[in-house]
Structure 1
Amino acid sequence: MDAILTWISDNPSYSHYLVLSLACFEAAVGIGLFIPGAVLLSVAVFLYTQQLIRIEELLPLAFAGAAFGDQSGYWTGRWIGPAFHTTAFAGRNRQHINRTEALIRRYGWGAILIGRIIPAIRSIVPLITGISGYSALKYILFDLLAVGIWTLLLGLAVVGTSGLFAS
């Protein structure tokens, strides 16, 4: 983490791209399992407290990156589709996958919202939603709502956490 913060200090002109990329990567299928939301939060707090980015710049970038990451996961799931169920991975995890798909079908928007808010499943829910055949229009609308809520929570966390460093 220190290496990232040092790099940002040395290259402040890339701050905007970094926020956009981290928000996208933490939501992207596969990559999101290795880039936790804490990295984005730490970088965002650093950028904000060092006055390298204003909150009104940071939040739209985070929104755009997160929405793109979620949408790429959903459309990857749609592309893979039912063939996913014939893979060895799906065979080993059939019970969990069936349960997740049932929750998505039953609770739709709630599952998408919870999936966006909880870091541990953030990159998986869009993929499973796409695989399950959930309506694309509904997914896009509910995901954008969920990303909007997540963005507001990120903004509150950045501003609140930066207050700890102000004294």
Structure 2
Amino acid sequence: MRIIDFLIGLLKDPRTAIATWITMGVAPTLGFIFLIVFVETGVVFFPFLPGDSLLFAAGFFAAPDATTGVSALPLTALLPVVWIAPIVGDQCNYVIGRFFGRRIIDSGRVKAMTPERIAKTEAMIDRWGPLAVFLGRFFPFIRTFMPFISGISGMRWRRFTPFSVLGGLTWSTLFTLLGYFFGGIPAVQNNFELVILAILLISLTPTFIGLWKARSSSKPSHTESASE
């Protein structure tokens, strides 16, 4: 139950979660950030973790305070952590998919891995090849499934890795620096929960559109129904 409460609190308000960690010290805070980003990326069972909003909130705490000029998290320590976590996570997830992927899918234990999401991920790989690994990094759920499906599909490791590294570096840097430069704006601070919600909605919009299109295309048209 405590783990569920922790996850709900993290999803609802990552800024408060990070503020709580900071009271324990910089090293534990960086450790928690690394763990969450790694798990979201590297463990196919946890695609719902808030990678985008967590990075934004972490970047906010790395910015110098307006009055003291001191930051709660040093940016020079935060950036290497958020760079390494998705890269290592992708490698872990790729290996899981390569050796255990079909067994995991057949078990049905990953409820978030719906046929529509698998199909969308596979379609991206078919269309873009290894470039899909880079593009998939910016889509929630897809970024968790992409290395997993890449491993299942037999994409060679040497083709997968460069795009995985580039995607992880670009994604983590982008959202961290967005929080660093814009998190301290008064309007953002006063409406931080709304900003996080907006980030989540914007991030999830492509997924919702893809699911809607997949569902619409699976429905028979009126003309087909009439002909039958």
Q: TM-score, normalised by structure 1?
A: 0.79
Instruction: Name the CA distance, whole Å, in 2 between partners of 1:151 and 1:132.
Output: 26
Identity %: 24
TM-score, structure 2 normalization: 0.61
8 Å contact kept, 1:112–1:142: yes
* Structure 2 residue 147 is the aligned partner of structure 1 residue 133: no
Distance 2:36 2:117 in 1: 28
**2:39 aligned with 1:19:** no
CA distance in 2, matches of 1:68, 1:159: 24
CA contact (8 A) 1:27 1:69 kept: yes
How do 1:2-151 residues align onto structure 2 when only pairs under 5 Å count?
4-13=17-26, 14-28=28-42, 29-49=44-64, 51-83=71-103, 87=106, 89=108, 97-98=118-119, 100-151=121-172
- The Cα of 1:94 is off from its aligned counterpart by 5.4
Equivalent pair of 1:26/1:37 in contact (CA under 8 Å): no
1:106-136 Cα shifts (integer Å, max 9, x gaps) = 3123211121112232211111111111111
Aligned-pair Cα RMSD in Å: 3.0
7 and 96 in structure 1: CA distance in 2 versus 1, 3 angstrom threshold: closer
The structure with the greater share of residues assigned to helix is 1
Secondary structure of the residue aligned to 1:33 is: coil
Do the aligned partners of 2:22 and 2:29 also contact (CA within 8 Å) in 1? no
Q: How many residues align?
A: 165
Q: Do the aligned partners of residues 98 and 18 (structure 1) sit closer, same or farther apart at CA in structure 2, a change above 3 Å counting?
A: closer
Q: Residues 161 and 131 of structure 1: is their aligned pair in 2 closer, same or farther, counting only changes over 3 Å?
A: same
User: Aligned partner of 1:77: which letter?
Assistant: G
2:162 is aligned with what amino acid? L
Q: Deviations over 1:16-43 (max 9, x none)?
A: 2122222212213122324443133223
Q: Secondary structure at the match of 1:25?
A: helix
132-141 vs 118-127, which moves further: 118-127
Deviations 1:61-110 (A, max 9, x none): 1011111111111111001255567x2649x9657635532431431232
Task: Report the 3-state secondary structure (helix = DSSP H, G, I; strand = E; otherwise coil) of the residue aligned with 1:37.
Answer: helix
* Aligned-partner Cα distance in 2 for 1:95–1:32: 15
Give the corresponding residue for 2:200.
none
Aligned AA (1:45): F
Q: Which has the higher contact order (CA 8 A, sep 6+)?
A: 1
Distance 1:97 1:7 in 2: 36
